[in-house]
Structure 1
Amino acid sequence: MKWRIDPDLTLPLHQQVEKIIRTLVEKPEYQSGLMFPKEVDIASELGIARNTVRTAIAKLVQEGILVRKKGVGTMVVRKKLLTRLDHWFSFTKEMEEKGRKIINYRLEVKLVKAPPELAEIFHIKPDTRVVEITRLRGDEEKPLLLSISWFHPRTKVQIEQDFTRPLYKVLEEENNVYVTLSREDISAIAATNDLAENLQIKPGDPILTRNRTVYSSDGQIVEYNQVFYRGDGISYSVEIGR
């Protein structure tokens, strides 16, 4: 550890300590779950009182950056996955760009009869058979989302296709379908028993739900998708210009 307090700086001591701790928090080893250095060790390294370190750590705990676990120690709170509404990627591509490994906890592909609501969206007859893909996905720690997709019959999507691959890459390479537009509705709901079991949370916990209608380059509906996200696992960012 090579931390240093500069007595010549006009920045107050406790703010220097806080700045050092914030830098430590961003290190990959602590982001990955390594126990954060003890207050006494940080104080000894910096040659300052332990209370000063405790105050700085307490502030980061209050901000939700660090968490104290009784009998264990202090750890960095792993950052939520952040996705931007104005930057539409497949979930796989988005997470790859963030350096996160994605796991398919469950993948189910089957033919189902389109219920009236879906038939209305697709402008097809109720009970028309469509391909349904259910994916429970997350990182190495836990499931983060449950995704259910239905595909318009005109896409010629087949249940035999390899949907362990990124979905839109499959559509482009095997079905010659290129998606260019997504219309989305996002809301917060309380987790049902079924959703809670899938996402490994408690019934009634807040989750984010997103209903997405995906269109091809010629304006045709390709997919209708419902996604349910753990409330502690993802956040949306919106950038508005003027």
Structure 2
Amino acid sequence: MNFSIDHKNPLPLHVQAENLLRTIIRDPQYANGKFLPNEVQLAKQLAISRSTLRQALNKLVYEGLLIRKKGVGTKVAEPTISSKSKNWLSFTQEMNARGIMIKNFELHVTWVTPDETVANFFDISTSKKILKLERLRGKAEGPFVYFISYFHPRVGLSGEEDFKRPLYDILEKDYMVIATLSKEEISAKSADKFLAGKLEVETGSPILCRKRFVYDQGERPIEFNLGYYRADSFVYTVESRRD
């Protein structure tokens, strides 16, 4: 692969270097754990300073696309599933945006009475039945996330919907309910026997738990969602900008 950047291009050199690196890591020659060219040699070939190149490298290291080992070099990270807090989307939309085909291994719809935590979030009685949606999802080679969603009765879901469609697409197009705000809590826990069986890991293995509180345009609660992810297949990235 020929590495070069256009020094006449008004785009900053570190941005051009970052774009080049993104192209490099997609090349089969460097994919899945292969080391990138030597930093000194690459900077020389691109006719940029090492600090400019390192600025671009640091961005991709932060995103989890590259792994840097002192005294060894920089290599392409093994592929993982990534979810970012910025530009919040439904899970299906997130994965589609990354070109990842998602498979539903299990899909269950039931009507249940909520526990106090869910009832308090929806501000309803614990005797009021609500829709519960459970989905075990992942890539073709196996599941990596188990979702449990509860919906406020106000939303109007019947349980007969085609939940293979993106969830928030169903809410918006079929019920005029627009999911606008998501508040989340992220924690780590050990997989109990039930979750270990679902995610195909050993009991006691670390998993990521994401609790999501979803609101409509009027900031009324519409969904209480729990997501349990295999720790070896999922990275949650938070991007913040200081104004």
TM-score, length of structure 1 as denominator length = 0.70
Question: Shift of residue 115 of structure 1?
Answer: 1.6
The RMSD of aligned alpha carbons is 2.7
Native 8 Å contact 1:115 1:127 kept in 2: no
Question: Shift of residue 106 of structure 1?
Answer: 0.5
| Structure 2: distance between partners of 1:95 and 1:199 | 18
Question: Shift of residue 29 of structure 1?
Answer: 8.7
- Per-residue CA deviations over 1:200-228 (Å, capped at 9, x if unaligned) read 11111111001111000111100000000
Residue type at the aligned position of 1:160: E
| Structure 1: distance between partners of 2:98 and 2:210 | 21
Q: Which residue does the alignment assign to 2:114?
A: 114
| Structure 2: distance between partners of 1:211 and 1:24 | 36
| Structure 1: distance between partners of 2:145 and 2:113 | 24
Q: Which residue does the alignment assign to 1:140?
A: 140
Segments of structure 2 that go 5 or more residues without pairing to the other structure are 3-21, 35-68
Question: Shift of residue 64 of structure 1?
Answer: 10
Q: Which residue does the alignment assign to 1:195?
A: 195
- Per-residue CA deviations over 1:27-53 (Å, capped at 9, x if unaligned) read 35985x8xx9xxxxxxxxxxxxxxxxx
Residue type at the aligned position of 2:101: K
Segments of structure 1 that go 5 or more residues without pairing to the other structure are 4-21, 37-58, 67-76
Residue type at the aligned position of 1:79: P
Distance 1:190 1:173, change over 3 A: same
Distance 1:112 1:91, change over 3 A: same
Question: Shift of residue 26 of structure 1?
Answer: 3.3
**Equivalenced residues, count:** 189
Question: Shift of residue 164 of structure 1?
Answer: 0.9
Identity score, percent: 37
Moved over 4 A (4+): 22-25, 28-31, 62-66
Q: Which residue does the alignment assign to 1:239?
A: 239
Q: Which residue does the alignment assign to 1:55?
A: none
Q: Which residue does the alignment assign to 1:225?
A: 225
| Structure 2: distance between partners of 1:64 and 1:195 | 35
Q: Which residue does the alignment assign to 1:88?
A: 88
- Per-residue CA deviations over 1:65-113 (Å, capped at 9, x if unaligned) read 68xxxxxxxxxx7411111112211111111111110000100011111
Q: How does 1:35-114 map onto structure 2 within 5 Å?
A: 78-114=78-114
TM-score, length of structure 2 as denominator length = 0.70
